[in-house]
Amino acid sequence: MYNRKEIKRFFAGIFLMAIAQLSIGQPEQRPDYNDGTGFFVKNGNIYDHNGIAFTPYGVNNVHVWLDEANSKNALKLELKKARMNTVRLVTAGESWTWNNQSATPAQKKELVKLAVEAHLIPILELHDGTCLNECDKAAADGKMGLKQIVDHWLLPDNVAMLKEYEQYLWLNIANEWGPDADNDQAVDYLNCYKESITRLREAGIKNLLVIDAGGCGQDPRTLLNYTDQLLEHDPQHNIVASIHLYGLWRSKNRTFTGWTPPYVVEDVIPQLAAMETPVFVGEFGWTDTGTSVNYDPKILVQTCKASDIGWLFWAWHSNDTEPFFNISTRSDLKYFSSNDLSAAGKYLVDDPEFGFKSVATPASMFPVVVTGVENRELNRSFKVFPNPAGDTIYIKSDLILQNAFRIYDSQGKIVQQGILTKKESQILLKSMAQGNYILNIVVNNQFASFKFRKR
């Protein structure tokens, strides 16, 4: 089994030179059962179009009730400053009638396009199913059933958009739809999603599908009980589960004098991570006066990393009166410095171990940049061996922490590039011909340089 975080990419500093797409070792082969062109699931892991392991780290960006010009600007410019790799696009359908900012296929396509241009993987969702249990419910008052939600995705222009952006786009079928596991109709969660998957696949939609937990997105039992069955039902076997964490969750360091939230972060997150179906946290909030969060969010983030699953915070900005749900504190949703970030934002963006800038690796389809000027003194900090090398070259250094590397052939062509993630790392050279090469390792906008020969 391959570790979801086997491959990481982190590029920092001033962007000086665009380079080609990343490749470390041999990419994972797309399984025979999946004939799409986008992300795919295999052995409990998520892989991008190029077969490179991917873990989503990002935010929800609201395009339903906030000023849409500000929301689009955040999507276009602000989110990428925080160096996340994923954005969940919060949109509406036919039942949402008090405004019309994200309901049409054309509006959704524009948001997807902006996300891709910002080098963010878009997860497109429909908010009309929030906390509903009905499979079939006519659109009204901001709500509609799962059947009607799928009807919306099957509008011809939406199908065309999903196919056009298949390489990048994940489809989160319905936000927080479905009964919890204690509901008498709990099995409807399984049966209605089976029907929905069938309809989407029969329409030729091959995108990675995201399925939220039932019980307003918070009941992990619906995922533990049913999502592996849904994965098996899907002819593409291309499903990811999403759990949302608010008041029904607690961490072990919290005590309660009355009602105690039933789901323990440190116990249940690893159970979800052990499913055959990959999982990520699709929404969570922060602690503060008035919040609905009953757990320590830092423990959640740390538990996710230990369990090799990603997370999306709710939200880049939700509204001005609930700062515990915002990363940007500004009403215009902009981000110029850490002064514009909430307590949650300061941790989730800048923490040296758990923040976006440390953990979020861009999908390999996007062009990336590497910066640096040569510093020969850095060479003393690395041990690169053997030389000549066979099929593998090894690098040891206490400086290694998400360091970009590039290998050039004798003609100055980049033949391999990627990220060193451990103090003792290795680079596979099997695909490279015999000859002389130069290895550059980037450290804080400088690079060490080593010559070696491939036998």
pLDDT tens readout for residues 295-352:
999 999 999 999 999 999 999 999 999 999 999 999 999 999 999 999 999 999 999 8
Reported as a pLDDT band with limits 50, 70 and 90, residue 430 is confident
Q: Which of 153-157, 198-202, 294-298, 369-373 has the lowest mean pLDDT?
A: 369-373
Note the pLDDT of residue 362: 84
Q: What is the mean pLDDT of the chain?
A: 90
Alpha carbon distance 248, 273 (integer Å): 19
Residue 176 exposure: Cα atoms within 13 Å on the Cβ side: 18
- Of 9-18, 261-270, 433-442, 446-455, highest mean pLDDT: 261-270
Q: What is the mean pLDDT of residues 203-209?
A: 98
The token pair that represents 95 in the structure block: 């039942």
Q: The tokens 């400086």 sit on which residue?
A: 399
pLDDT in tens, 145-192: 999 999 999 999 999 999 999 999 999 999 999 999 999 999 999 999
On whether the CB atoms of residues 411 and 8 are closer than 8 A, the answer is no
Alpha carbon distance 124, 162 (integer Å): 10
First to last CA, the chain: 30
On whether the CB atoms of residues 46 and 53 are closer than 8 A, the answer is yes
The token pair that represents 140 in the structure block: 């009204």
Alpha carbon distance 433, 284 (integer Å): 48
pLDDT in tens, 166-175: 999 999 999 9
Reported as a pLDDT band with limits 50, 70 and 90, residue 435 is very high
pLDDT in tens, 337-366: 999 999 999 999 999 889 998 888 888 887
On whether the CB atoms of residues 401 and 415 are closer than 8 A, the answer is no
Does residue 375 have a pLDDT over 50?
Answer: yes
Q: Which of 20-24, 43-47, 146-150, 259-263 has the lowest mean pLDDT?
A: 20-24
Please count the other Cβ atoms lying within 10 Å of the Cβ belonging to residue 202.
10
Q: Whole-prediction pTM value?
A: 0.81
Q: Is 452 helix (H, G, I), strand (E, B) or coil?
A: strand
Note the pLDDT of residue 389: 95
Q: Give burial (CB, 10 Å; 0-12/13-18/19+) of 151.
A: middle
Strand partners, 124: 89, 171
The domains located in the chain, with CATH, are 25-359 (3.20.20.80), 372-454 (2.60.40.3080)
